[in-house]
Structure 1
């Protein structure tokens, strides 16, 4: 009997043990039962909007309470609110439930960069006090950067030669890029001279917001200082400033071989190397060729092509040159210019032509305060481009309208190309003529003066931006038997871009 009792007790203990084992086994929680992943694109174009999907599923028997999701974007990602770390409180996740959260962003970086995002899900299983975390990551490669950054630079250049090269940029990203800059690395052997647009430190250019299909150009001028045989390495970087860091998104590079100079080309206009041309004047070009190579040049062929709508090509003249007015080309050969037949080492010769600038021509907004005339000289395969500033055209038009014994004088001032400051219009009032107190607009009365001793009228116009103008109207009573109502009017001002005084004259007005 005792054996049966003992046997029954053992059976009960075994059954209770198995029951307890399976019960507590079910109570043990593992975070492996939470399926947690990020879905997205394996590769994208830089700046392309992409969507990340964070999916989570509860495969266990416990509800996940107070879940919190933290989503961390890679550095320098672009979002609508500029946040790179996003925290969301989620609803409780019950057994068998699958949910997802979506995030949008644009990745910033260079071609070939890998960008990693990270998601963290924290929660407390029902009935437990411990808090668990699940983590996952996702990597996306920046396959391409749809931005063009190129050099327009010759592959060979002569020592001592001044060259002009371009850095061209263009965006095909369907998103406006802000806080952009282009940086260039210093080049040992290239002496930086100037740039358009200008740069404060000659190494960085800040760009305006760059939208899709927009671009621009930086023009850099400098002199090759390295010896022949050297190679110059030019490097440009286009990037975006983010939190004080310059994030490079595109690079361009080009090597230039320095060769021994052969012919040194220089040019003068009206006897000056850096002549500032004025609208309406005749320009006399003289191109100088010096052989700085070790051997003679025979039967040289020289061309100069004029590249500007500012020229009146019908006025082209040349002694010894052949002119093609259709495209502004002047050609010189050894048959007509004796100095081109043989140019010995260290010998110099020259050719010349003249052409007149138009009185005025249309310019774009980008050309204002930077109007230049250009010509390109080619000598047997060697090229040199020349650029000269053009001063503004400041014009005064003086007209008169007679009303009985009074003349209504109108001064119309027009400024064409560059900003001009401190503009004044002056004219002499003949003896016997008198001014009335009628001045229009009245606001200009304080800028209008008359000196009874010198008989000089002065209108202080002030400053005019390129492409703007202004008008003044006043009345004059001519003297009896007067030969003039008012003398010639002279307008003058300080051209800010050309750094010179510009002026023009309007004819005097006689009585009707």
Structure 2
């Protein structure tokens, strides 16, 4: 019997036999009636009992590692991909409501709230359209896309802040959205993640104003002067500004100053545009034009002006402020036009005598009798006592009007078809306007004129004789400058002999003072040259005053910047002082040597749109305004 057969026999044999060379072993068998397996692989698995393969330890460890990897990957995906980031937080600060064009600072604060460093961090900010960002040099540039700032590594728990100074533009109550994202890579990972924030800024006010100078009623076909004024009350400058004028069909341009920017593509019932460029704080500009309205009498025509931005390539217009003016077209048979100094607009100066005229003409085909011309002067700045009225006119104290009527003016008893005439008056502008409150600024002289008659011909009944005419002139501000030399009543201590002595050094203080009445003045400066024998002592009062001495030119310059209306009238005057010294020579004996040359003031009247230039004689060692210095101490002694 072979070995295999012996093994089978020993395992499956029905009897208990001991193999050769081995001890006898007692075996137990199943109960009778149960069949025993008599060969290999003859028993099939029983139904309902799973078949289990044997598993080695290596295989079990590999399977366990795979399961742990799958669980770890799931946790990673949930924490790093499926949940909100917790390594960093970001927030956008600053005000929620701003003024259009105002320079505002937007702080963006971000912090690492994890226990590990965040590497390769970038701050990505998206600003809204119509916003400008200020760079390190103070220049404002329109934002055209995202702004990225490299942050680098944020240590665990570290907080930083980035600030953006900018301007927002738009209509009132426009909402502007700012989005910020901090992009970073947690240490030990290759993937980059982000934390985001968003803020809405509302434009609470647009500090631009538009006003009109145009008669409320005009005749069809009448040449009408129109002035559109616009100004800024913002604290920052508006750049690249445009003005749009929308007008009705039948509106015809005669001339415009400045020239219309889109003169070549204007169409009837369309618009006209002007590129007005920069508008500084407190500055006023204007568009002047002459035009006619072609509609019939009785119609109401509308003009609309808007300020904003215009893209010349896309023709896209974005308005920030607008104003509408309605004009009624009459069937007036009379032409009426007032003027000051022969002009329809301009500036008058305090102390000037102004000549005013009213021109009339009968454009109808019938004579009109018993005409009265009434002129209302809205000008507190005029000295009524200086008023001179020509051509038989009188001043009506009840209505405060100047009236020319048939009783005093022969030509008005009957005005024939085509007949015309001119009426005259003159008055003086007060040398110093009365300034009682802060509202007494930006003064004007306004003439409003109309024609009346108690006996309108039957052919003209139902229509006014003429539209009311209006002319407005601006009044320039009054700026006063003064200077004095002092020794004892001085904000700066002086030294040296008084009276001054030949060969010995004496110091003096020069005091300058500026007052301004009715209009804001920008860019105010005072300058004076020092004589060659006078030295700058580098002492200025009050401290912080922008006053400098140029050794090359020998010129002292005081930069004042903006001088508000009412300075020195409602509020204290602008005063500054500086110290100089002189060592008199034998040639100065018995004299009062000069301490400064002539003094000059320059600035810009922002309301009148004119330069202000003033001159003052230089100062010497005479000190009449120092009460503690006697007259005999002014001149040089031996």
TM-score by length of 1: 0.54
Contact 1:166/1:217 (<8 A) preserved? no
State the match for 1:401 in structure 2.
none
State the match for 1:261 in structure 2.
332
Q: 1:33 to 1:59 in 2, by over 3 A?
A: farther
Farther off after superposition, 298-307 or 12-21: 12-21
> Is 1:159 aligned with 2:202?
no
Farther off after superposition, 144-153 or 328-337: 328-337
> Is 1:238 aligned with 2:300?
no
Contact 2:260/2:274 (<8 A) preserved? yes
Contact 1:237/1:251 (<8 A) preserved? yes
Q: What per-residue deviation string (whole Å, max 9, x for no partner) do you get for residues 321-351 of structure 1?
A: 33689x99752223445665676xx745555
Unaligned 5+ segments in structure 2 are 1-51, 262-272, 345-353, 432-444, 453-465, 474-611, 615-638
> Is 1:302 aligned with 2:363?
no
- Measured after TM superposition, the shift of residue 210 of structure 1 is 0.9
The one of 224, 235, 241 equivalent to 2:292 is: 224
- Measured after TM superposition, the shift of residue 145 of structure 1 is 0.8
- Measured after TM superposition, the shift of residue 313 of structure 1 is 6.0
- Measured after TM superposition, the shift of residue 193 of structure 1 is 3.4
1:121-136 mapped onto 2 (5 Å cutoff): 121-136=182-197
The one of 136, 139, 143 equivalent to 2:204 is: 143
Which whole-Å CA distance do the structure 2 matches of 1:207 and 1:252 have between them? 19
Contact 2:111/2:160 (<8 A) preserved? yes
Aligned to 1:92, what secondary structure does the other structure show?
Answer: strand
> Is 1:384 aligned with 2:469?
yes
Aligned to 2:180, what secondary structure does the other structure show?
Answer: strand
1:160-175 mapped onto 2 (5 Å cutoff): 160-175=221-236
Q: 1:232 to 1:382 in 2, by over 3 A?
A: closer
Q: 1:335 to 1:355 in 2, by over 3 A?
A: closer
Q: What per-residue deviation string (whole Å, max 9, x for no partner) do you get for residues 107-144 of structure 1?
A: 12222333222323322233332334455443323232
Which whole-Å CA distance do the structure 1 matches of 2:472 and 2:207 have between them? 33
- Measured after TM superposition, the shift of residue 158 of structure 1 is 2.3
State the match for 1:192 in structure 2.
253
C-alpha RMSD of the superposition:
5.3
Which whole-Å CA distance do the structure 2 matches of 1:283 and 1:103 have between them? 55
- Measured after TM superposition, the shift of residue 55 of structure 1 is 4.2
- Measured after TM superposition, the shift of residue 217 of structure 1 is 4.5
State the match for 1:117 in structure 2.
178
Q: What per-residue deviation string (whole Å, max 9, x for no partner) do you get for residues 402-443 of structure 1?
A: xxxxxxxxxxxxxxxxxxxxxxxxxxxxxxxxxxxxxxxxxx
Contact 1:180/1:206 (<8 A) preserved? yes
Aligned to 1:79, what secondary structure does the other structure show?
Answer: strand
Which whole-Å CA distance do the structure 2 matches of 1:88 and 1:243 have between them? 32
Q: 1:102 to 1:26 in 2, by over 3 A?
A: farther
Which whole-Å CA distance do the structure 2 matches of 1:285 and 1:377 have between them? 10
Q: What per-residue deviation string (whole Å, max 9, x for no partner) do you get for residues 294-344 of structure 1?
A: x9866432135789989996765425x33689x99752223445665676x
Q: 1:200 to 1:139 in 2, by over 3 A?
A: same
State the match for 1:68 in structure 2.
122
Aligned to 2:128, what secondary structure does the other structure show?
Answer: coil
The one of 54, 58, 81 equivalent to 1:30 is: 81
Q: What per-residue deviation string (whole Å, max 9, x for no partner) do you get for residues 65-109 of structure 1?
A: 211122232233222224534322224346666554333322122
Which whole-Å CA distance do the structure 1 matches of 2:343 and 2:60 have between them? 116
Contact 2:336/2:450 (<8 A) preserved? no
Which whole-Å CA distance do the structure 2 matches of 1:11 and 1:251 have between them? 81
Contact 1:120/1:136 (<8 A) preserved? yes
The structure whose residues are more often strand, as a share, is 1
Q: What per-residue deviation string (whole Å, max 9, x for no partner) do you get for residues 167-225 of structure 1?
A: 23222211133343434345533333345xx21227415255411xx132425342433
> Is 1:249 aligned with 2:320?
yes
Which whole-Å CA distance do the structure 1 matches of 2:451 and 2:163 have between them? 64
Contact 1:332/1:351 (<8 A) preserved? no
State the match for 1:318 in structure 2.
391
State the match for 1:39 in structure 2.
92
Unaligned 5+ segments in structure 1 are 275-281, 363-372, 389-465, 469-512
Aligned to 1:67, what secondary structure does the other structure show?
Answer: strand
- Measured after TM superposition, the shift of residue 146 of structure 1 is 1.8
Aligned to 1:34, what secondary structure does the other structure show?
Answer: coil
How many pairs does the alignment contain? 371
Aligned to 1:159, what secondary structure does the other structure show?
Answer: coil
State the match for 1:438 in structure 2.
none
Q: 1:165 to 1:69 in 2, by over 3 A?
A: same
Contact 2:302/2:326 (<8 A) preserved? yes
> Is 1:290 aligned with 2:362?
yes
State the match for 2:237 in structure 1.
176
Q: 1:328 to 1:157 in 2, by over 3 A?
A: same
Q: 1:78 to 1:140 in 2, by over 3 A?
A: same
Aligned to 2:153, what secondary structure does the other structure show?
Answer: coil
Which whole-Å CA distance do the structure 1 matches of 2:234 and 2:356 have between them? 48
Aligned to 2:305, what secondary structure does the other structure show?
Answer: strand
- Measured after TM superposition, the shift of residue 355 of structure 1 is 6.4
State the match for 2:260 in structure 1.
201
Q: 1:289 to 1:217 in 2, by over 3 A?
A: same
Q: 1:288 to 1:25 in 2, by over 3 A?
A: closer
Which whole-Å CA distance do the structure 2 matches of 1:52 and 1:314 have between them? 58
Q: 1:286 to 1:34 in 2, by over 3 A?
A: closer
Which whole-Å CA distance do the structure 2 matches of 1:27 and 1:56 have between them? 25
